[in-house]
Amino acid sequence: MQSNFISLAISAMFLMGLHYFLAKLISRHVNAITIAFFTQVLIVVFLTFYIFITNTNLEPDKGIYLWYTLLASILLAVGIITLYMAIQKGPISIVLPIYSLNAIITSVLGILILEETVTIEKVLGIVLAIPAIILLTRR
């Protein structure tokens, strides 16, 4: 089971890395909002196809989870718009490492709220990520 989610995460890392590189490459010629728009449209198309072929049920167990889903979607939408604007305006070698710090926020919230296991390795990874990002973003 563990190797399945790890291989999915590694695949996502490579695909997203290539996506953001291409977004930066074309951002000199295409508005950031245009890139974000077409990205989201294609996500809807791919998700619709996936839902259809897998017969995925979209109804949450409880109504409150639909509201959490909507809130998460709004946060993602605003985050994506601001990310693409930052990619267009700044060097991708600085923008993406700063953006990647979102993993620290997610990890800390997972530990504090979801009661995920705290290990020395996790703490060390979170602590070392901050100076790593600082070094990567120095000009």
pLDDT at 29: 95
Q: Which amino acid is at 116?
A: E
**What residue type is 104 in one-letter code?**
I
Q: Is the backbone of residue 115 left (phi > 0), alpha (psi -120 to 50) or beta?
A: left
Q: Which residue has the tokens 């563990």?
A: 2
Cα distances (angstroms) measured from residue 123 to each of 13, 20, 111, 128, 129? 21, 28, 10, 8, 10
Say what the pLDDT of residue 20 is: 94
Q: Give the pLDDT of the chain (139 residues) as one tens digit per residue.
A: 556 888 998 999 999 999 999 999 999 999 999 999 999 999 999 999 999 999 998 888 888 888 999 999 999 999 999 999 999 999 998 899 889 889 889 988 999 999 999 999 989 988 888 888 888 777 6
Domain boundaries, the chain: 2-100
DSSP string, 54-75: HT-----SSHHHHHHHHHHHHH
Report the distance separating Cα 22 and Cα 13, nearest Å: 14
